[in-house]
Structure formats: C-alpha cells, structure tokens
Structure 1
Amino acid sequence: MLSVQQAEQIILTSIQPLDPQRNTEIVYLLAASGRILAQEITSQLDFPHWDNSAMDGYAVRHADVAESNAENPATLEIIEEIPAGKAPQKTIQPGQAARIFTGAMMPAGADTVVMQEVTQRSGNSVTILNAPAPQSFVRHKGSFSPAGTPLLSPGISIGATEIAVLASAQCTQIPVYRRPVVAILSTGDELVTPDRPLKPGQLVDSNQYALATLVRQTGAIPQMLGIIPDDPQQLQNAISQALEFADMVISSGGVSVGEYDFVDQILSSLGGEIQIRAIAVKPGKPLTFATFSSSSRQAPIIYFGLPGNPVSSLVTFWRFVQPAIKKLSGISDFWQPMFVQAKTQHSLKSDGKRESYFWGKLHLVNGEYEFTLAGGSQSSGNLINLAQTNGLAVLPVGKTLINARDLVQVLQVR
C-alpha cells in the first residue's frame, strides 16, 4: 500500500501533457473562455498604440509651464480640442495648448498633460496654476508592451482578462489545446440509473453523474458509458472500447478484493501496466492506477479505477484524478492540488494509520481560512452531507487528533 505522496508522484509523473503540435485546434474569441492556450500570442501592435492622455486636461509643452504656480501662472492659447478617437490636427507651438480627454492621442509638440483641476479656462485660453512634472499623465507608445513581444504564454487558462488582451491584439482565432476525452463507467449489478424505480438491494448510480460533472468542470470532455454489470466479459468489452477513443478512463467500483471485483485482472489482460492498487488514504484505499501504451498515440492512455463508495470516489477524484486531468490538458502550472492552512472549528480524529480526509466547508474570515466539518457521519457511504463541500481537511499518517481552533491543512475542492 503506497503513501499518498508516493501515489501522487507516480500518477503525475506518468501524465504527459497533450502535444501542442498534434492536439491543437482553433476557436473563435468568445469560444476561447476556459480553454488552454496552446501557442504564444504576440502582436504587431504597440500597447498603447500611440502616445495618449491618462487624464482630462490640457496637452502642453512642459517648457511653457515648468515655472507656473498660483502667484505666477502660465497662460496658454487653446488651439484644438482632442476627444478620444479623434486624431490631432495641429502641432503645439510655444505658448499653446490643446484641450484633451482621457485616452485621446497626444498632439505633436506636446509632451505633458496638465489635469483640468489645476487650471482655469477663459474662452480660448487656459491658465496653469500648478507646475506639473515632465511627461505627467502621458502614456507613451509601446510602454505597456512593444510590438512583437509576447502577450500571452502557452499553457495558461483563458479567462476574461486574457480575452480582453486577445481582443485588444485583434486576435480573433485562438490556438487552444483540444479538450481531453475522459470515458466514465460504473460497475456493479446493484446499480440502476436515476430514472428507474429502486428494487430491494439496488442503489442509484450517482458516481457516474458526479464524475462526469467534475470532469467537465476540470476542462475535459466526459463520455459516459453507463453501468456495466459484474460480468468479466462485459466489463472487458467496455474497458476495451473506452481505450480505443479516450485519453483517460475512469471506472468506479470493482477495484477491491471481493469475488466480484474484476477490474485489475481485466486491465492486466488488456496489456495495462498497473502501477497502483491501494493507497494509504481514508476514504479511498482501494484505488487502481494503470497506463496503456498505444502505437497510434504519443502519450499513454490513463486508467483510474476508483472506489465504488460515493464519498471515496469523489475524494479520490479531487485528490488524484483532477490534477492529472489538468496536467494532461496542457496547463503549464497550477495543476497541482491546492492546499491552504485553516483554523478548524471542530476536533478531527483518526487512527493515524492512513492519511485521513474530512469534508466540510472552507470560509475566509477576516483574512484567515476557517474549516467547518460537515454535519452527520463522516462515512464513505454518506453522500448526503457531502453537498456544498469545498474543502477536505487532512490528518497525516501518525496524527490522531487536531483540536478545535488548531490549524489544519485543507485541500480546496469543487
């Protein structure tokens, strides 16, 4: 049985990100939100595109106003008004100024903007009551980013700010990684779909729907293959089918040591290299991780066999599968699990034999995280109190108690 850290290293070392040469597609600007950028973005435009004003005021020659003050003001002739979007038509000569507005292009001859609050206007003249510093309120051409320099790096997730940069660069067709395809199946004769009436001894298959949702939230494409009975041949056919098209396969159930747990032996018979069979984690001990080589693909196909208990299935997804999907998708950083320190509002107890996870809610209170344990039993079969979970408090191996109000490491999830 491997430690959590050993298992994590094996899994993440086995994951090869999608190849940007083979796994890139072009999407339009508004369809790029949430996608992973596959190529560096540059622009032939300077940012700003030209010298412009950062303030409503007057564009002047600094030499004309350098000595001005309330007792000895400088009075200049206003020769032009320049709103944003209009190109200047005149050159500022000694003793002259232009009325200018925020974002408007600086006229030739001017090198400084005087904000309107320190001026007095009278007809076609303006009096400067306070000397500005040279270059005040002027945003110079290329000062944010000169033409030809990188604007966005590959491997980043595209959000609103990146969309704004792409739009500003007039980049409307965006190279992004394709979304990884993740096949999902549930195993067990006892399972039925949510739309069917329950018979004695049957359970609703919640895992497949939860896992598909998490896969989609993580940026991949879930392909739900349904419920596979506890029949070795049917299970082998389903897994074999999934391996033909998916980048990753996730099954839940069938990975323990019971008479109806066939997953591991089927993976071996199909040529899979089983690297993990069990992890010292609670909940989620029976977890299978395997890889399949393919002559038609550069990267191995990844297989996760998750426990059947609903909480165990979700906890192991958050801890091990989600980072793997993120790395596979081409994200260059921040695919690792994210932990924060929080003050627990409840005592947390375990036997110390396995790394134990307790689910609940993580809140930011006065700049510090607090963790509140979910009410009810912390049972791997108790799916109900998992609702609204956004944090998993961790008790490491050898630690049996963390008292209320003490600090605890919490894995951020959802």
Structure 2
Amino acid sequence: MAFLKVVSLEEAISIINSFRLEIGFEEVTLDKALGRIVAEDIYSPLDIPPFDRSTVDGYAVRAEDTFMASEANPVELKVIGEVHAGEQPSVKLSKGEAVYITTGSMMPENANAVIPFEDVEREGDIIRIYKPAYPGLGVMKKGTDIKKGQLLIRRGTKLTFKETALLSAAGFLKVKVFKKPKVAVISTGNEIVLPGEELRPGQIYDINGRAIVDAVNELGGEGIFVGIARDDRESLKKLILQALEVGDIIVISGGASGGIKDLTASVIEELGEVKVHGIAIQPGKPTIIGVINGKPVFGLPGYPTSCLTNFTLLVAPLLLRLLGREGKIKKVKAKIKHKVFSVKGRRQFLPVKLEGDVAVPILKGSGAVTSFVEADGFVEIPENVESLDEGEEVTVTLFSF
C-alpha cells in the first residue's frame, strides 16, 4: 500500500484538533488524588492560619507594656495562665499581664506579641523583660499564609504531594478531577514478543507498548496494553476491536508503512476512516491518523525513537487537551554541541541528550533502542535548514511530561 495522504505536520495537528472527545470529570478523595489532573480552579475556603498563633514557646504579652524595658530597668509582668496548642484561650490580658504560650497556640485576647522564653527571667508568676517587644513579634497573623478566597491550584494542574498537602491544609476531603482518558495500546509484528517470553532467533522484546502505556500514565491518562498483533489482518483487526471496547483513543505501533506486511492503514480503513497516511517529517513519515466509531486511532512507526517522537508530537497534545493541560509539553533552550547536517526540504526531528545547557545529538538512528533511551528529547530542524552550527541555540522538546 502506498502512502494515501502525505500532509504537513500542521495539517495533521489540525485534524487531531478537530476531534471532539468528551471524557468528563469525577470527584476523588484526597488519598486517591495524587497524579490526577484538577478540573477546576480551587480557592481556599478559609484563612490559613485560621487564627493568630504563636511561632515560638514563650510569653504572650501586650507589646505596649514592654516599651520601657531595658537591661538596667526591666519590666515585670504577672503570668496569669497558660495556652497550649489545640486550646481556645480562656484568659484575657490586661495591663501588666502575660500568658505562657506554646508554639502554634492561639493567641489570647489583647495579646499582640510573644517573647521567647529564653529572653525573659521568671520567678514564680513574675517574668522580667529586658528589651522591648514590638507588635507582631513571635506571632503569625490570621490569613498571613493564605487568605480566604485565594486561588490555591489552577485547573489543569497535575497533583503532586505538594498540592495534596496544600488541599489537606485547606480542609479538602475531595477534589474534582478530569477522568483519565483511556488509551488502548497495540504493538504489531511477528518479531515482537513480551518480556518474560522465550526470545527466538529473529525476535525482539517489545519496547513501544511499555513506553506508550507509561507515557500515557505519566501524562495523567490511563494506558491499557491490549496485546501484540501478528502480521495478518485478522490478528490486527481482532485487537483493534478489543481496543475500541476499552479505550477512548487507540495507539498502534508498527505496521504503518507501505510494505506487504504493513496492514494497519488498510485495517483502519476497513473498520473506519483513514484521515492521514504519511506526514512530511523525518523520522516518522509513515504515521497514520484515523477514526473508528468516533474514536481517534493512531498508527505510529515501529522504531522506538520515531514512535515516541510522533507520540509526543501528535498523541500527547490531544491527551493534554482532554486533561485541561494544553501547552504543558516541556521545552527548554540549549546549544547544539556540534554541527549537524540535515536534508533540505524535509522537516527533521533530531534526538538529543542534554548535558547541562548543551544538546548532544544522538545519531545512532531511530531503530536503535538506546537512541530513545539516551535521548532527553528532540530538536526540530525546519525544511529550509541544511545544518545546525556548533553552539547554535535550539529548542528541545522533552520526553518528559
């Protein structure tokens, strides 16, 4: 089968952007929220801290009672009680009084400063203060950290332990998140076997299935490995039909070219519609974009680096859009380590390894497993550029989500 529709990368992306999938939302408890994508802006329902509190162990005082204190002429205050963490103070300060208070405890009424215990002398219920305190000393005011109504987390944020801790501090038990887009993944080829199986002459272990499933999971979706399709129509058709039952999106690696064993495009055409068969890029020209039963189907090249480059260019942005994370693919600036030649007229994506701010080209070819494993990302070389010069600044799109 020859390439049906060789299109530009922009046209391919435009077709993908026209797909209208509705994944929806759900509420999950905070203990299940790690790694999920927030579906709405979240605002604090309370001030944090919710009360004025002491930041030290010491004595809560009225600062104005200490203004005349000095080494030569200390001020004496009477201790009228204690306040500990978790208690509501039962005492109210009047002129000349102090309260012993522990770190994190609620400030008693009329107190506006806390003097560390090591800075005073105490005899019985009398303390001597040798230097003035100022209002706010040793005190964290209500709402100093976070104000009620303050934006805590933006829609589209992937929750790490930092965000879940913040939500816990604000008292959230549940959080609204995007449902995980389910991506059904199929590997193809008579030569492909799963890890753990016997490796016979001419066979290799599957890398793309594992890589794609885990890339989907890292993005915030749910990767589902369906299996390995052999190089016959019925095997591939059977697995695609299984994938349609469990996935919102189907990704197939291998079998996308035009050889006699490359059946992906014709089987997709039989079951649905091929929108694109061939994109004007290198590597990864034999890429398929189709639709079956309203679900996007991607046929990616079999070589690992080509497969994951095109996944990053085409599939990842769709997943990020479904998760409210558009534009979240990471990119960094770097300088190319040495001169690299390209084929003029062909848009190329060059795998590179980052060493600080230097991008080191990986030139082993997209069929080498280590080309993908060693690569931190890739650099785009436009059609009208024949080479990149040593030290030239480039943008690296990262294989990291």
Shorter-chain TM-score above 0.5: yes
CA separation of 1:345 and 1:168: change in aligned 2, threshold 3 A = same
Is 2:361 the partner of 1:373? yes
Letter in 2 for 1:410: V
Contact 1:282-1:356 within 8 A present in 2 as well: yes
Alpha-carbon distance, 1:229 to partner:
2.4
Contact 2:287-2:300 within 8 A present in 1 as well: yes
Between the aligned partners of 2:258 and 2:325, the Cα distance in structure 1 is: 37
Alpha-carbon distance, 1:45 to partner:
4.2
SS in 2 for 1:226: strand
Partner in structure 2 of residue 182 of structure 1: 183
CA separation of 1:224 and 1:58: change in aligned 2, threshold 3 A = same
* Cα-to-partner distance string for 1:37-80 (whole Å, 9 max, x where unaligned): 33555565432121112344432223223454556654322333
Between the aligned partners of 1:360 and 1:390, the Cα distance in structure 2 is: 6
CA separation of 1:125 and 1:248: change in aligned 2, threshold 3 A = same
Q: Which runs of 5+ in 2 are unaligned?
A: 1-5
* Cα-to-partner distance string for 1:254-307 (whole Å, 9 max, x where unaligned): 222223333223323323361x3222322111211223454xxxxxx2211101
Partner in structure 2 of residue 75 of structure 1: 76
Identity across matched positions, percent: 32
Is 2:5 the partner of 1:11? no
Alpha-carbon distance, 1:183 to partner:
0.9
Contact 2:282-2:346 within 8 A present in 1 as well: yes
Partner in structure 1 of residue 61 of structure 2: 60
Alpha-carbon distance, 1:110 to partner:
0.7
Partner in structure 1 of residue 262 of structure 2: 261
Between the aligned partners of 2:361 and 2:203, the Cα distance in structure 1 is: 30
Partner in structure 1 of residue 321 of structure 2: 327
* Cα-to-partner distance string for 1:163-187 (whole Å, 9 max, x where unaligned): 1123223333444333221111122
Give the CA RMSD over aligned residues: 2.9
Alpha-carbon distance, 1:91 to partner:
1.0
Alpha-carbon distance, 1:410 to partner:
0.9
Q: Which runs of 5+ in 1 are unaligned?
A: 295-300
Partner in structure 2 of residue 351 of structure 1: 343
5 Å-filtered alignment, 1:7-406, equals 7-12=12-17, 14=19, 16=21, 18-20=23-25, 24-26=26-28, 28-39=29-40, 41=42, 45-70=46-71, 73-115=74-116, 119-123=119-123, 124-147=125-148, 151-272=152-273, 274=275, 276-292=276-292, 294=294, 301-328=295-322, 330=323, 332-333=324-325, 335-364=327-356, 369-374=357-362, 377-406=363-392
Alpha-carbon distance, 1:97 to partner:
2.0
> TM-score normalized by structure 2?
0.86
Alpha-carbon distance, 1:100 to partner:
2.7
SS in 2 for 1:49: coil
> TM-score normalized by structure 1?
0.83
Between the aligned partners of 1:98 and 1:263, the Cα distance in structure 2 is: 78
Contact 2:44-2:146 within 8 A present in 1 as well: no
* Cα-to-partner distance string for 1:94-132 (whole Å, 9 max, x where unaligned): 112223333111011112334557x33232444444444
Between the aligned partners of 1:74 and 1:387, the Cα distance in structure 2 is: 70
CA separation of 1:333 and 1:222: change in aligned 2, threshold 3 A = closer
Contact 1:371-1:391 within 8 A present in 2 as well: no
Between the aligned partners of 2:101 and 2:344, the Cα distance in structure 1 is: 70
CA separation of 1:76 and 1:2: change in aligned 2, threshold 3 A = farther
